[in-house]
Amino acid sequence: MASYKTIANESEGFYKEKGSKFLAFAVPVSSEDEIKAFIAQKRKEHHQAVHVCSAFRLGADHKVYRASDDGEPSNSAGPPILGQIQAFELTNILIAVVRYYGGTNLGVGGLISAYRTAAKAALENAQILEKEEMERYEFTCTYAQMPGIMTFLKKEKIEITTTSMDLSCHFKLLLNKSAAPELIGKLEALLA
């Protein structure tokens, strides 16, 4: 079974050091577009903040990940945030940490500790859950086949993401990766 751990919904963490405030926001994501939009939103909401550092990881295989120091000294912000994502074994997650400068330099060691602590606090406040990896499928059927297909999809609790009706019926589905081969086999039998 291709499963992974992520968070259920947005959570927050906070850390303060020598006047600097670190506000951490952990959010479940499924694409880099969502990530860019969330970071842009935080920049807009916290326009007086000095930095919005972040890290994310996508996919059940954990192969897509990035970390951003956003102007902080190299490897002092993004990698410590990513380290917390890895420590909690999470994916399909973004953590953005907004820093308000407090007037005192923390040094690289202080920054690493602050960003790590803020990210950890956000994850400790999150509801962690296990999900199964999903795959998208498309198929077309005739109007005569549609009642049987709809009964099957409802019975199997298959999520229909898009439906379009023209000369034929076109469906896009979201299936659990492990159950997909069996469900596709049954679907193909109904379409035969």
Residue-by-residue pLDDT tens, the chain, 192 positions:
468 999 999 999 999 999 999 999 999 998 999 999 999 999 999 999 999 999 999 988 899 999 999 999 999 999 999 999 999 999 999 999 999 999 999 999 999 999 999 999 999 999 999 988 888 899 999 999 999 999 999 999 888 889 999 999 999 998 888 788 899 999 999 888
In this prediction, residue 39 carries a pLDDT of 97
- The reported pTM is 0.77
Where in the chain are all domains bearing CATH 3.30.70.240?
Answer: 133-191
In this prediction, residue 81 carries a pLDDT of 98
Of how many residues is the chain composed? 192
Rounded-to-integer distance, Cα 66 and Cα 55, Å: 6
Name the residue among 97, 94, 126, 80 with its Cα closest to residue 30.
94
In this prediction, residue 136 carries a pLDDT of 85
CB 13, CB 26: distance < 8 Å: yes
CB 115, CB 97: distance < 8 Å: yes
In this prediction, residue 54 carries a pLDDT of 98
Domain 133-191: assigned CATH number: 3.30.70.240
Where in the chain are all domains bearing CATH 3.30.230.30?
Answer: 3-130
> What is the CATH class of 3-130?
alpha beta
In this prediction, residue 1 carries a pLDDT of 47
Give the count of alpha carbons within 13 A of 176, CB side only.
14
